[in-house]
Structure 1
């Protein structure tokens, strides 16, 4: 299986990534410029920094636009926001070409906003528009069974898809996932299914750290993983957000970056390319040396830990094969 967009090698003999794989969620051209500068400074100082992916996230609704969620109530609102996201994708793609060397250019991942992938036909129509303005792949939230068929439809027309599992903001189920054996096995099954319908990679959000680590273990049958708010995982990619590198959340959060010291009321005055370069330099440095992210508390029962650790999430368990 080819993962040419990723700097990913499924090598069972590696203890961990030789160069940590970073995915950066951002929105605007000046944010791209700041990340590129921060990456260059880190490399000059000897840090193994590789920005592998930049993603234009639909969280723009909550960051720059001040909304409370990423779901949209009406078709008109969905259509209007898709046009905005398409424009941001073009802006970020152009800036990525401009500010990163061609030999280490991150791939551009377009987040598909609420409503744009409601049916296979809609998904193909909107995803091809994202590809036309410079996206190299699209990201799709998986929160129901029919979403796998949408991934399949996109893959069949040649659109590379990264599937998003765990907490999916468009679904509204804001909680941690994988804190029971049953749910861990369900996540493993969804990861396999996402792979089998054509996904080129995964995003895991708010997933139990051990489950995240299992899915990130090298395997000839695995696909690359980026995780966010899911703890640390050797071999896995880490997703970081430029907004979160500066602004504290409006709630008590133990897992947000230590670089976040400003209040949202300080936007946009403190949200400059210079400030972003400094905050992203420090946040990427922390991710590279293993200081970030923090490990969330696990609620897994002790008797389930060994079952999960000893499992191969990328192969269907024997008892399931016999029952099939």
Structure 2
């Protein structure tokens, strides 16, 4: 497993970092087999896997369940897990309890926390040895206020984002995710920080990129953002399931090829 300082060295050497959002054993296993360097167990599982309209309904128990499954599938990959909505910004004591619980129970390598308001929690987590990946720009847990759209499009908002990013690094964040911001702004922030910056919808000049497993493979996704590129197509699964349904209805499946055959009834006195 690559340690944190390895990603710092990758940034220094100009080597791009690959991150993939995956939520369970098979997807995490595939990510590790593909050589993906970081797996993010994101609270986007609320929409992608659980069918919610947003990330708001995702609980800490949901995150623990999926992060543990991902860890079983990718034992040798650096795993980051999201702190879900409602577990941050309650009060200092409760926030820390949630952070400790999620980090301890999932065996993740780091926690990801959204928003510029969480610098006190970043500091406290760092003090007790919990690595934190900060997330700025479009933060889905705040979609009710910000909406799902490009962020930091004004001079004032861009200047604030630069300030927030530097503050995250100063507070002890080990990595930063920038989502849905202008590419030139993302490039400037990336150059100004010593910690790795991972982009999603933030252009090509960040230190690495993250996309969601289901988006990359077109798996059960109805709408994809502009920044998503598909590298495979699992949408044909419906046709395969229709064929299975038809073969069951007509008795074609299971044929002898898929049947355990033994003349056991000849040995039973009926």
| TM bin (shorter chain) | 0.7 to 0.9
RMSD: 2.7
CA distance in 2, matches of 1:120, 1:154: 11
Which structure has the greater CA radius of gyration? Answer: 2
Contact 2:179–2:201 at 8 Å: present in 1 too? Answer: yes
Conserved in 2, the CA contact under 8 Å of 1:123 and 1:154? no
Matches within 5 A, 1:192-231: 192-217=166-191, 222-231=194-203
How far apart, in 2, do the equivalents of 1:268 and 1:88 lie? 27
Deviation at 1:181, TM superposition (A): 2.4
- For 1:170 and 1:264, how far apart are their aligned partners in 2? 31
Residues 181-226 of structure 1 deviation map (CA, whole Å, 9 limit, x = unaligned): 2222111100011111111110000011011111222x6x521111
Q: Does 1:162 align with 2:133?
A: yes
Q: Which runs of 5+ in 2 are unaligned?
A: 243-270
Instruction: Tell me the CA shift for residue 21 of structure 1.
Output: 0.8
Q: Is the 8 A contact 1:244 1:257 kept in 2?
A: yes
Structure 1 spans left out of the alignment, 5+ residues: 40-50, 73-77, 98-104, 271-324
Per the alignment, residue 128 of structure 1 pairs with: 100
The aligned residue for residue 157 of structure 2 is: 183
In 1, Cα distance between the equivalents of 2:225 and 2:38?
A: 25
- Indicate conservation of the 8 Å contact 1:54/1:106, yes or no: yes
Partner in structure 2 of residue 110 of structure 1:
81
Match for residue 209 of structure 2?
Answer: 238
| Aligned-pair CA distance for 1:9 | 4.5
The residue number in structure 1 matching 2:120 is 149
Distance 1:86 1:33 in 2: 17
Distance 1:183 1:196 in 2: 20
Match runs of 1:1-324 below 5 Å: 3-4=4-5, 6=7, 8-9=9-10, 11=12, 16-17=14-15, 20-39=16-35, 51-72=36-57, 81-97=59-75, 105-118=76-89, 119-132=91-104, 133-143=106-116, 145=117, 147-172=118-143, 173=146, 174-217=148-191, 222-233=194-205, 236-247=207-218, 249-251=221-223, 253-259=225-231, 261=233, 266=238
Q: How high is the TM-score relative to the length of structure 2?
A: 0.77
Task: Rate the CA distance shift 1:269–1:255 in 2: closer, same or farther, 3 A.
Answer: farther
**Compared with structure 1, are the counterparts of its residues 266 and 3 closer, same or farther at alpha carbon in structure 2 (3 Å cutoff)?**
same
Aligned structure 1 segments of 4 or more residues deviating by more than 4 angstroms: 260-270
Q: Distance in 2 between the 1:149 and 1:65 partners?
A: 31
Q: Which whole-Å CA distance do the structure 2 matches of 1:255 and 1:186 have between them? A: 23
Q: Which residue of 2 aligns with 1:279?
A: none
More RCO (CA 8 Å, sep 6+) = 1
